[in-house]
Amino acid sequence: MELQGRKVAVVGMGGVFPTCTKLDDFADKLFSNQSLIREWDQAKHHGKQVRSSVSGYVTEEEMHLEAIYSSHIEDYPETYLDHLNRIPHAHLATADVGSIWAMLATLDAIKMADWQEDDIQSELTGVVVGSGGSGTKIARSAWRNFFELGKKSRSIGTHTVDRSMFYREAANISCLIKNKGVCESIGSACATGLGNIGHAYRLIQYGIQDRAVAGGVEGTSLESFIGFDGMQILSRGFTPEASSRPFDINRNGFVCSFGAGIVCLEAYDIAKARGANILGVIDRYFNNSDGDGNMFHPSYDGQKRLWKGLLGNSGMVPDVVKVHGTSTQVGDAIELFSIADMLGDKGYHIAAPKSQFGHMLGASGSVEMIAALLMLERQTVLPCLNSVQLNTELEYFQQADSWEGPQTPMAHFRELIPQEAFKKEINTVVCLNYGFGGTNSSILLSKDTQ
């Protein structure tokens, strides 16, 4: 049973994005139909050991960070320098690069939210931020020095645990801003970013917190990249900018990317009373599991139930659906058909931000929600780059007797999927994200009209 609870406003946002110096740069590139994907020298360095070599990655130098390597153990970044002096050194020593991104994005989001110290350092302010994996760069170096090179455990320093634990981003943010409310991480694979925001929304909705820092992070990691490359599900054979191609008939896998997205959420009445700039309102969050026992295969039934849980019998049709849209063969098709089954074939448009910056794993949901908020702000639908040709034939699973979805090919929905950004009145956006293990998340955003 869903309680109505309090309305929740989004009052700040910040992030770390490939090839971009700040949020405005990110927005300008997205709405001018640019791709943030490029050839990755670290992947290319390994030659034929890997199949794919493109990514939406971010370097330490681009974030004005410098790793300070240990003088007595190999290839171990003992701490980092922040050349712009944004993060105190004590907090850099407990962080991997993704946690530093999380702190930087949080500072930007809080500045936009215009929260004061008393607001932040409160029992009613929470932190709910997670990532898709552990601090692999730190862990790889530490354990190599112990297991392969025979170094003593004390030689790898006192911060390997806190710099590689799952909860590290939330912990570092909380220590930085000194909030006294909830501090936790929700892990749900590629639905992590949206799931953390959804959990924070519920904390505010039900009166447990008044405000929260929430989102997802995925620090640049060759380990994550090669793990997915080993599954043979990464895009290859295209130029970097053409590699991510949701819904296109020639799609052959996703682009493994990295970044961070943080939003500041606040009880709507509190935000309104203090005159906050409300970027959007979260009208509803719903999540579920497929329940079919399949770790990887998308579930049409699970996604239909997700839509039903989000919109119920309201009959509403959002102006834009921000899809998960990874560029995988079955995933894109199932997602498109589940949308069409719920909303029909007209009256809305589909935006696929992964076509521009790839799949940011644990950060994807939060960065893509920022993209959705930017669509509300600019009243412009983001494109699905490279969706050049949609299948004119039925998918193989549509021909099975057990299939209960649309009996039309993907090409039937061509007009819903723009290849370039375009202006449109946008009052509502639905955000969708899915993850391994059959976890599904959805958020309904609306423009503040009061």
What confidence tens digit (pLDDT) does each residue in 347-375 have?
999 999 999 999 999 999 999 999 999 99
Instruction: Check whether 181 has a pLDDT greater than 80.
Output: yes
Please indicate, yes or no, if residue 3 is contained in any of the structural domains. Answer: no
Q: Write down the residue that tokens 């995988």 correspond to.
A: 328
In this prediction, residue 450 carries a pLDDT of 80
In this prediction, residue 1 carries a pLDDT of 40
What mean pLDDT value characterizes the chain?
95
Euclidean distance between CA atoms 120 and 403, whole angstroms: 51
Contact call for residues 234 and 255 (beta carbons, < 8 A) = yes
Instruction: Check whether 275 has a pLDDT greater than 80.
Output: yes
Euclidean distance between CA atoms 368 and 360, whole angstroms: 9
In this prediction, residue 156 carries a pLDDT of 78
Euclidean distance between CA atoms 291 and 47, whole angstroms: 40
Please indicate, yes or no, if residue 146 is contained in any of the structural domains. Answer: yes
Contact call for residues 434 and 324 (beta carbons, < 8 A) = yes
pLDDT grade for 417, boundaries at 50, 70 and 90: very high
Report the predicted TM-score, pTM, of the whole model to 2 decimal places.
0.97
Query: Rounded to the nearest 10 degrees, what angle do helices 23-31 and 364-378 cross at?
Result: 70
Instruction: Check whether 245 has a pLDDT greater than 90.
Output: yes
Q: What are phi and psi of 384, to 5 degrees?
A: -115, 90
Which of these, 393, 377, 252, lies nearest to 320 by C-alpha position?
377
Instruction: Check whether 239 has a pLDDT greater than 90.
Output: yes
Euclidean distance between CA atoms 280 and 444, whole angstroms: 10
Instruction: Check whether 195 has a pLDDT greater than 70.
Output: yes
Instruction: Check whether 346 has a pLDDT greater than 90.
Output: yes
Please indicate, yes or no, if residue 361 is contained in any of the structural domains. Answer: yes
What is the percentage of the chain residues whose pLDDT exceeds 90? 89
User: What is the rounded average pLDDT of the residues 240-257?
Assistant: 98
Give the CATH number of the domain where residue 123 resides.
3.40.47.10
Euclidean distance between CA atoms 450 and 445, whole angstroms: 15
What is the pairing mode between strands 349-351 and 320-322? parallel
Please indicate, yes or no, if residue 319 is contained in any of the structural domains. Answer: yes
Instruction: Check whether 3 has a pLDDT greater than 70.
Output: no
Please indicate, yes or no, if residue 303 is contained in any of the structural domains. Answer: yes
Please indicate, yes or no, if residue 2 is contained in any of the structural domains. Answer: no
Please indicate, yes or no, if residue 213 is contained in any of the structural domains. Answer: yes
- Domain tally for the chain? 1
The set of residues, in sequence order, having a beta carbon less than 8 Å from that of 68 and lying 6+ positions away, is 77, 78, 79, 80, 81
Kindly state the tokens that stand for 260.
Answer: 């961070």
Instruction: Check whether 183 has a pLDDT greater than 90.
Output: yes
Q: What are phi and psi of 57, to 5 degrees?
A: -105, 165
In this prediction, residue 333 carries a pLDDT of 98
Domain containing 99 equals 8-400+407-446
User: What is the rounded average pLDDT of the residues 52-67?
Assistant: 97
Q: What is the DSSP string of 199-247?
A: HHHHHHHTTS-SEEEEEEEE---HHHHHHHHHTT-B--SS-GGGS--TT
Please indicate, yes or no, if residue 1 is contained in any of the structural domains. Answer: no
Active-site annotation, residues: 190, 324, 359
User: What is the rounded average pLDDT of the residues 27-49?
Assistant: 97
